[in-house]
Amino acid sequence: MNTEPNMTQPPIPQEIVEEASARLTAERTRLVHQLQEIGATEHGELRSDVEFGDGGFADAAAATAERTEALGLAETLAQQVAAIDEALDLIAEGRYGYCVRCGSAMSPARIEARPESVLCVECKNRQ
What distance in Å separates the CA atoms of residue 96 and residue 77, rounded to the nearest whole number? 22
What distance in Å separates the CA atoms of residue 108 and residue 119, rounded to the nearest whole number? 13
Smallest Cα–Cα separation from 77: which of 118, 43, 48, 49? 43
Binding mask of the shown chain, residues 19 to 38, with x at each position contacting Zn ion by CB under 5 A: --------------------
Sign, CA torsion 67/24/91/2 = positive
Q: Which is nearer to Zn ion, 22 or 121 (CB)?
A: 121
Taking contact as CB under 5 A, which single stretch among the options 33-41, 46-54, 79-87, 114-122 is the one that binds Zn ion?
114-122
Rule CB under 5 A: choose which of 67, 101, 110, 114 binds Zn ion. 101
CB 38 within 8 A of CB 78: no
Binding mask of the shown chain, residues 60 to 99, with x at each position contacting Zn ion by CB under 5 A: ---------------------------------------x
**Please, what is the angle between helix 60-93 and helix 14-37, to 10°?**
160
Q: How far is the CB of 20 from Zn ion (least distance, A)?
A: 17
Q: Which is nearer to Zn ion, 52 or 98 (CB)?
A: 98
Query: Taking CB under 5 A as the rule, does residue 111 contact Zn ion?
Result: no
